[in-house]
Amino acid sequence: MKTTALNYSTQEIKRQAAQIFKVWKANREFRINDAEFKDFEKLYVEFDALFNKIEAGYRELVELDKIRDKTAAKLIGLTVRARGAMRGYYGPKSLQAAQIKVDWSKKESPAAKPASKKSG
């Protein structure tokens, strides 16, 4: 049975590779038919760099999500206040009030299609 990366989490791959790396580094005379320590080391270092880059990117993304959510909350609050103030300033039937009107039907789940008329 062929083992693929999909059978392991990246943390498990990193853990297992670190164990092999440590032992193989201390016993460099060990060889596999088509691989030496330098081959394993090159692949291990490449994987580790990618792993660390992804982890750093994930942490950055989480922080950006938090900042976006805080900014969105402030923007929503100001939007609601501005909409109310514009309606009060220009009037509820003004062109400006019509331009800032919220279409609540877009926020609702899609309604069932009306039944077609029967000819008869």
Q: What is the pLDDT of residue 56?
A: 96
Per the confidence metrics, is the pTM higher than 0.75? no
> Helix-strand-coil percent breakdown of the chain, rounded to 5?
70, 0, 30
pLDDT of residue 64: 98
Q: Which helix (H) or strand (E) holds 115?
A: none
**Average pLDDT, 10 consecutive residues per value, the chain (120 residues):** 69 94 96 94 96 95 98 96 94 92 66 51
pLDDT at 120: 45
Residues 6+ apart with CB under 8 A from 96: 86, 90
